[in-house]
Structure 1
């Protein structure tokens, strides 16, 4: 079975994403955000765009959205997805650093099994301000109106929070759900 690829966008939690997936028994490999899209397309069953400091250092990661395979964007990965598909990202009014209560707005396979409100761990200053056409806003919080979004037809999913961090309640469930999406 092909692995999931974790795209390293130079964020502090990318190795933790890799470790979490491996601890869950999910075949995983970390790749550079400069890996050619053709290599990505033939080498994995799904892509996780990890976090990072800035949209200026994302390499060719936006091209991975066009490969026809499922993609999960986490934090900066969500911002990559939004901007690549015509949405907008701005500096948040307050940013999110620490525990945040997130409200589920729309049920989706990525969020299957979660309650209507859950506690997650945030570490961001920027946020999606305009959801791209074709995407659905899945979750919000008091500090961020787009905590999660998806384009179900393209199998593109993004979350602002960090499911790989132990402070996110049941964060592994999100990875289980994404892995299931990749196997469908």
Structure 2
């Protein structure tokens, strides 16, 4: 089992790899300009980052037919590439947020129901879901905190599950590993 982390120049990218290693997953952090044909992984994590314009080839990775977990900017890239919308959030900086899980059957975040505390930035956020996606979590500061398209095994969370401030972050990675193992 190998899940690679795609580096979108975020400040927490190295922590995503560490959490994956901690739960027993082989992982490598790869540059977001890596040609898709050079990627040999059972799943991908699209890391957070500062700017959609610096997301490299992330959109191409959605066609690799492996499960993808987008974190913050990674989620926004998935939405943008597949016809959703991304806009400015009403709440800018990082904050501790209570997230309500609205899809208890969801493979990625359903086990966190009914709610969880997370560390998130809302400078930008998904404002409209792409076709085929379901909203799986919301909060008082963001209408779409998480999204899921289980048919294509594409998932996104606005928050950072890799940081210590997030209550059940490791569980998100464990759930994603399970998705990758059963795909």
Q: Normalising by the residue count of structure 2, what TM-score does the alignment of the two structures yield?
A: 0.96
- In structure 2, the residue matched to 1:118 is 116
Q: Distance in 2 between matches of 1:33 and 1:124?
A: 22
Q: Residues 3-45 of structure 1: CA distance to partner in whole angstroms, max 9, x if unpaired?
A: 10100000000001111111222111100001111112xx100
User: Greater share of strand residues, 1 or 2?
Assistant: 1
SS of the equivalent of 1:113 reads helix
2:158 pairs with one of 153, 157, 160:
160
Q: Distance in 2 between matches of 1:96 and 1:116?
A: 25
Q: Distance in 2 between matches of 1:20 and 1:152?
A: 23
Q: Distance in 1 between matches of 2:137 and 2:93?
A: 15
1:128 counterpart = 2:136:
no
How far did residue 93 of structure 1 move? 1.2
- In structure 1, the residue matched to 2:21 is 22
How far did residue 115 of structure 1 move? 2.5
**Runs ≥4 residues deviating over 4 A:** none
- In structure 1, the residue matched to 2:142 is 144
How far did residue 53 of structure 1 move? 0.3
1:85 counterpart = 2:71:
no
1:95 counterpart = 2:115:
no
Matched residue count: 181
SS of the equivalent of 2:61 reads helix
Q: Normalising by the residue count of structure 1, what TM-score does the alignment of the two structures yield?
A: 0.95
Q: Distance in 1 between matches of 2:141 and 2:173?
A: 24
SS of the equivalent of 1:110 reads coil
Mark the CA change 1:127 to 1:141 in structure 2 (over 3 Å): closer, same or farther: same
SS of the equivalent of 2:15 reads helix
1:171 pairs with one of 138, 154, 169:
169
SS of the equivalent of 1:94 reads coil
- In structure 1, the residue matched to 2:107 is 109
How far did residue 96 of structure 1 move? 4.8
- In structure 2, the residue matched to 1:47 is 44
- In structure 2, the residue matched to 1:180 is 178
Superposition RMSD in Å: 1.0
Q: Is the 8 A contact 1:90 1:127 kept in 2?
A: yes
